[in-house]
């Protein structure tokens, strides 16, 4: 007769999970050992997530794998063929969907985009949760420049390439936004989606709907610091000129994924330049 799986994690096992993770063992290995010891997979995953995220991670309903109503937009394969080029996939993460992409921009395009942005830099704003209006705050200490969709030949080329990578038509895209971070500048962890309950999100949601994906393109190498970090999954990307980070914010059950929390770490030496494209679920008038 099949013995029942353990759904209750004893204090000793909680301690063992914490110690194993602290010693540097991969969560997948910890899960494997717990499964060998006849723990229910979802109870084990919850306990590991709790140890990793200090209870921030959403709890899985015991024994109920999430119905997969959502799958990533990102194409499979090692190379994404996007119009004029093949973009190489260097790293994939499944939750949230993240991909590190190489060869998205040529070095010359990066330099041209930086000089174009330099002519119109202003202090970056964040969306106020209360009013939805852009405001300057210490949580985002970069300077930014906005581009209209296809406003010139270079921008049109990048808009088209970003749309092909993100597998959305260009009319779903917000205008490209360039950002420069000097030493000490950062963007504290945040979500790119508009929190549905914030009064300030409503005007954005009416106009093109929710954001669904982000493509951050890196316009230079940073001497030290400036990583793009996803603290809830302990993922950190080191900026590299011409590469891009693609990510989505939809959990497997279709809800907005709290694991997509991310930010830009303070620049320690040098400067950091990025160019970002956000896609909306519907056509976005701009």
Span from 2-10, 130-138, 148-156, 189-197 in contact with Fe ion (CB under 5 A): 189-197
Residue closest to ligand AKG (Cβ): 264
If contact means CB under 5 to 8 A according to the sort of partner, which of ligand AKG, Fe ion, none does residue 264 touch?
A: ligand AKG
Contact criterion met (CB below 8 Å) for 30 and 21: yes
Cα distance between residue 241 and residue 78, in whole Å: 20
Span from 37-45, 68-76, 124-132, 185-193 in contact with Fe ion (CB under 5 A): 185-193
The tokens for 236 are 């950190």
Q: Are strands 224-225 and 267-269 parallel, antiparallel or unpaired?
A: antiparallel
Binds ligand AKG (CB under 6 A): choice among 264, 266, 277, 280: 264
Contact criterion met (CB below 8 Å) for 150 and 156: yes
Binds Fe ion (CB under 5 A): choice among 41, 66, 151, 192: 192
Cβ closer to ligand AKG: 40 or 174? Answer: 174
Cβ closer to Fe ion: 30 or 98? Answer: 98
C-alpha distances (whole Å) from 136 to each of 118, 130, 218 are 19, 14, 23
If contact means CB under 5 to 8 A according to the sort of partner, which of ligand AKG, Fe ion, none does residue 117 touch?
A: none
Cα distance between residue 170 and residue 175, in whole Å: 10
The tokens for 176 are 């490209």
Q: Is 214 helix (H, G, I), strand (E, B) or coil?
A: strand
- Minimum Å gap between C-beta 194 and Fe ion is 12
Q: Is 229 in the site for Fe ion (CB under 5 A)?
A: no
Cβ closer to Fe ion: 151 or 192? Answer: 192
Q: Are strands 177-181 and 122-123 parallel, antiparallel or unpaired?
A: unpaired
The tokens for 207 are 């106009």
Q: If you search the block for the tokens 């194409």, which residue do you land on?
A: 75
Dihedral of the alpha carbons of 216, 99, 20, 25, in degrees to the nearest 10:
-120
Contact criterion met (CB below 8 Å) for 228 and 217: no
Segment 210 to 229, residues that bind ligand AKG, using CB under 6 A: 216, 228
Cβ closer to ligand AKG: 39 or 187? Answer: 187
Binds ligand AKG (CB under 6 A): choice among 161, 173, 276, 279: 276
Cα distance between residue 99 and residue 93, in whole Å: 6
Cα distance between residue 51 and residue 21, in whole Å: 8
Q: Is 262 in the site for ligand AKG (CB under 6 A)?
A: yes
Cβ closer to ligand AKG: 239 or 252? Answer: 239
- Minimum Å gap between C-beta 226 and ligand AKG is 7
Q: Is 271 in the site for Fe ion (CB under 5 A)?
A: no
Segment 88 to 147, residues that bind ligand AKG, using CB under 6 A: none
- Minimum Å gap between C-beta 230 and ligand AKG is 10
Cβ closer to ligand AKG: 242 or 264? Answer: 264
Q: List residues near ligand AKG by CB under 6 A.
A: 187, 192, 216, 228, 262, 264, 274, 276
């Amino acid at each position: 007769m099949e013995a029942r799986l353990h759904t209750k994690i004893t204090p000793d096992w909680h301690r063992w999970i914490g110690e194993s993770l602290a010693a540097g063992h991969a969560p997948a290995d910890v899960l494997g050992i717990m499964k060998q010891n006849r723990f229910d997979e979802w109870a084990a995953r919850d306990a590991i997530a709790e140890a990793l995220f200090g209870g921030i991670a959403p709890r899985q309903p015991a024994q109920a794998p999430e119905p997969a109503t959502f799958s990533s937009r990102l194409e499979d394969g090692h190379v994404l063929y996007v119009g004029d080029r093949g973009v190489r996939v260097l790293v994939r993460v499944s939750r949230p969907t993240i991909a590190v992409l190489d060869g998205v921009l040529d070095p010359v395009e990066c330099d041209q985009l930086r000089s174009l942005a330099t002519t119109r830099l202003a202090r970056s704003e964040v969306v106020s949760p209360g009013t939805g209006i852009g405001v300057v705050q210490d949580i985002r200490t970069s300077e930014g420049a906005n581009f209209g969709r296809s406003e010139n030949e270079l921008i049109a080329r990048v808009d088209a390439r970003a749309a092909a990578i993100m597998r959305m038509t260009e009319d779903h895209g917000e205008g490209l936004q360039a950002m420069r971070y000097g030493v000490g500048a950062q963007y504290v962890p945040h979500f790119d989606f508009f929190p549905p309950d914030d009064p300030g999100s409503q005007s954005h949601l009416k106009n093109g709907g929710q954001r669904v994906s982000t493509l951050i393109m890196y316009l230079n190498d940073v001497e030290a610091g400036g990583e793009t970090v996803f603290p809830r999954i302990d993922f950190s990307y080191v900026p590299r000129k011409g590469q891009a980070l693609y990510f989505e914010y939809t959990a497997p059950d279709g809800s907005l994924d709290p694991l997509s929390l991310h930010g830009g770490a303070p620049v320690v030496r040098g400067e950091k330049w990025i160019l970002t494209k956000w896609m909306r679920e519907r056509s976005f008038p701009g």
